[in-house]
Amino acid sequence: MTDPRQEIESLREQIRYHNTKYYTMDAPEITDAEYDRLFRRLQQLEEAHPQLVTPDSPTRQVGAAPLKTFAPVRHRIPMLSLQNSFSDSEIIEFDARIRRFLGTEDSPAYGVEPKIDGLAVELIYKNRRLTTAATRGDGSVGENVTANVRTILAVPIELKDHPEVGPVPELLEVRGEIYMEKDEFESLNRDRPAKGEAPFANPRNAAAGSLRQLDFRVTAKRRLTMFCYGVGTAQGTGFSSQAEVMRALQRWGLRINAGMMETCESLDEVINYCHKLEKIRDSLPYEIDGAVIKVDDLELQRRLGQISRSPRWALAYKFAPSRETTRILKIDVQVGRTGAMTPVAHLEPVTVGGVLVKRATLHNEDEIRKKDIRERDTVLVQRAGDVIPEVVAVVTSKRTGVEKPFVMPDRCPVCGTLAVRKNQEAVLRCPNPLCPAQVREQFKHFVSKAAMDIDGLGEKTLLQMIDRGVIKDPPDLYNLRKKDILGLERMAEKSAENLLQAIERSKQPTLARLIYALGIRHVGEHTADILARQYGSIERLQEATEEELTGVHGIGPQIAEQIVSYFADGSNRRNLQRLLEKGISYEPPAGIPSSHLDGKTFVLTGSLESMTRSEARDVITSKGGKLASTVGKSTDYVVAGASPGSKLRKATELNIEILDEKAFLEMVSGGKPVSKNRGE
């Protein structure tokens, strides 16, 4: 039976990794459907085991941390993400939750609009003028992209008062979605191969990449646009509904998706309009991946408030993934950084959700066998969430007899080493650390933004260096001289100097980035940060035992095994030593701010008037505390609401401090706890 603690830690690590790939790097690796399965499984486990919930869990956060290229901007009011739904029944349940919370049998009016697949931003206007534009970032802190946003024609630099809605507030924070229309995306992608640039995967990635350009002139050429969907701070306004807010934004000069916003007076109207949007999605000039449903009344929004990462008054209804049929021409196998051998289907080109798809992942041998996928098969291809396409099913009725079963090779297709499958994994791996494919992927990982961040060292240049024998392992990068670089394609005097400067700048990473750059299997950015904070130096980490590592919160047995195995390898230790000798000097980890609830264990009994049990859990864990389901000697506080159960009696027997609701609220607000009693 799987240990829930181990499964929870594994899910958190996977979700954090994919959050970073999606929100920060604009390079998602899995479909929305796969991500949602991971996220929902984590939610289920945390509901079943509340004592294992931690404040840094992805279920308590919005996205990934911002890049360090742009100055940080702290949002006055957090830019929350939306809870997702995938069926009519989940919309009905959303409405039922709202009615229960408000204590009414009648559904409120809802505003429904398309969910634009772009990049969320906040525009800050002071005295009518645009002063700051910031990305959502992690919800609390985003990136300052003001110079780039000023180039977008749909974003006014100055707003104008309007007699119908009154003057523009002195401080107005507008939230919206920056996106790229389909026609512009296709035009941009047509030009990129001629410039030696890889095409963007989809309009969202193109918009995100365009907005994050350091040179605003590049952004200006990309023809981005924007729809506004709400406000953060809006000083001095007296609006009563979401519809009034949107009308005012439009009158002041901001662009809203006016023709597509619908106010629905009944739940049937909400569901019907969501279905209508799904039917017309492909005919729209921009990509949408769902609909957003909001309680229209602003006072009700205020009363409903929020849970840890989402407003309680809004819901995202996600459409079914875009699917099309095509034919598999052939199947080959790609080898990744850790030796994973992944089968990939090469397809007859087909447009799925507005994007031309030529390849799709088949995941692993077990998936191929389960779906009975063969070369020359007609298949259903899905581009869920506009990420990596995948083959979801075979259209067996179209088989003609020419289809050829695919047999996974028992040797690495690149180096010929006998493949292995360890610990009942679904993935076959090449165990040869010198495999050229692994070496290439390891280099790409080492120089990436999240690792050593060697700006200007693109994939083509890197591969030239490897193929010509200029570099064999990462420390060789720090031996490079100008003459080594000038012999490469597209490398002139100035670009060679810039690259050498970037390599020199990379010599002072944080300890967490250095650990991540090593490419230890299962060690993503978050795990690297945990290790950096726990050990403080790479030397101490090298000597850690599996027993020590598994005692660190957030490090499971699999991760511990991989860390010890990595440092037990003599070549890995030698490469690390060479890096340090080349002048790599990492920054020690910053201290972690403490909280008066850090490490304290709470148990809830009875019902609270001011919040639900789930909300109380969120408050406790967000302050560094832990929630347990049973009272024991390790319990610090029992919170007793109305009609408490046997847990209260147990707390009294064990002389554990008992808090009534008032004392609990005072404690989580930062005040001193006032006990109802301590069992005496």
- Per-residue pLDDT tens digits for 219-233: 888 999 999 999 998
For 90-207, list the strands marked E by DSSP. 110-116, 119-126, 129-135, 141-143, 171-179
User: What's the CATH code of the domain at 34?
Assistant: 1.10.287.610
User: What's the CATH code of the domain at 507?
Assistant: 1.10.150.20
From 298, 318, 338, the end of a domain falls on 318
Can you tell me whether residue 495 is helix, strand or coil? helix
Q: Is residue 445 part of a domain?
A: yes
Q: What angle do CA 402, 405, 408 make, to 5 degrees?
A: 150
Q: Is residue 607 part of a domain?
A: yes
Domain shared by 403 and 456, yes or no: no
Helices (H), 175-228: 182-191, 203-211, 216-221
Q: Which of 152-166, 199-213, 398-412 has the lowest average pLDDT?
A: 199-213
Q: What's the rounded Cα separation, in Å, for the pair 264 and 282?
A: 23
For 55-148, list the strands marked E by DSSP. 72-74, 84-85, 110-116, 119-126, 129-135, 141-143
Helices (H), 281-404: 298-304, 365-371
Q: Which of 97-106, 560-569, 665-674 has the lowest average pLDDT?
A: 665-674
Mean pLDDT of 172-201: 87
Mean pLDDT of 58-82: 75
Domain shared by 423 and 351, yes or no: yes
- Per-residue pLDDT tens digits for 446-487: 998 889 988 888 888 898 999 899 999 999 999 999 998 988
Domain shared by 505 and 560, yes or no: yes
Tally of CB atoms within 10 A around 95: 20
User: What's the CATH code of the domain at 367?
Assistant: 2.40.50.140
- Per-residue pLDDT tens digits for 349-363: 988 866 778 999 898
Q: Is residue 158 part of a domain?
A: yes
From 318, 344, 379, the end of a domain falls on 318
- Host domain of residue 258: 74-318
Mean pLDDT of 195-224: 85
Q: Is residue 566 part of a domain?
A: yes
Domain shared by 420 and 540, yes or no: no
What radius of gyration do the chain's Cα atoms show?
27
Is residue 666 predicted with pLDDT exceeding 70? yes
Q: Which two tokens stand for residue 175?
A: 């939230």
Domain shared by 442 and 424, yes or no: no
pLDDT at 2: 66
Name the pLDDT band for 385 (thresholds 50, 70, 90).
Answer: low
pLDDT at 673: 46
- Please name every residue paired with 628 in a beta bridge, in sequence order, or none if there are none: 603
From 266, 289, 318, the end of a domain falls on 318
Contact 579, 475 (CB under 8 A): yes
Domain shared by 384 and 472, yes or no: no
Domain shared by 303 and 328, yes or no: no
User: pTM (2 decimals)?
Assistant: 0.56
Mean pLDDT of 634-658: 88
Contact 301, 313 (CB under 8 A): yes
- Per-residue pLDDT tens digits for 131-182: 999 999 878 888 899 999 999 989 999 999 999 999 999 999 999 999 999 9
**Distances from the Cα of 396 to the Cα of 11, 361, 379, angstroms:** 34, 19, 8
Specify the higher pLDDT residue, 78 or 633. Answer: 78
pLDDT at 592: 43
Q: Which of 96-105, 240-249, 415-424, 549-558 has the lowest average pLDDT?
A: 549-558
Q: Is residue 136 part of a domain?
A: yes
Is residue 65 predicted with pLDDT exceeding 60? no
Contact 116, 257 (CB under 8 A): yes
Active-site residue, from 21, 68, 115, 404: 115
Q: Is residue 57 part of a domain?
A: no
pLDDT at 141: 86
pLDDT at 419: 94
- Per-residue pLDDT tens digits for 303-346: 999 876 789 999 999 998 778 899 999 999 999 998 999 999 99
Q: Is residue 365 part of a domain?
A: yes
Domain shared by 116 and 247, yes or no: yes
Q: Is residue 595 part of a domain?
A: no
Domain shared by 181 and 271, yes or no: yes
Q: What is the mean pLDDT of the chain?
A: 86
Q: What's the rounded Cα separation, in Å, for the pair 572 and 680?
A: 59
Domain shared by 465 and 393, yes or no: no
310: nearest Cα among 39, 70, 625: 39
The residue whose two tokens read 């020690």 is 588
Q: What's the rounded Cα separation, in Å, for the pair 574 and 578?
A: 6
Name the pLDDT band for 98 (thresholds 50, 70, 90).
Answer: very high
Percent of the chain surpassing pLDDT 70: 91
User: What's the CATH code of the domain at 131?
Assistant: 3.30.470.30
Domain shared by 449 and 423, yes or no: no
Q: What's the rounded Cα separation, in Å, for the pair 392 and 398?
A: 16
Q: Look up 676 and say whether it is catalytic.
A: no
Domain shared by 358 and 287, yes or no: no
- Amino acid identity of 404? K
- Per-residue pLDDT tens digits for 242-281: 999 999 999 999 999 998 999 999 999 999 999 999 999 9
User: What's the CATH code of the domain at 639?
Assistant: 3.40.50.10190
Domain count, the chain: 5
Mean pLDDT of 582-596: 68
- Per-residue pLDDT tens digits for 550-571: 777 668 888 999 999 999 999 9
Mean pLDDT of 425-439: 90
Phi and psi of 403, rounded to 5°? Answer: -65, 145
- Type and span of the H or E element at 582: none
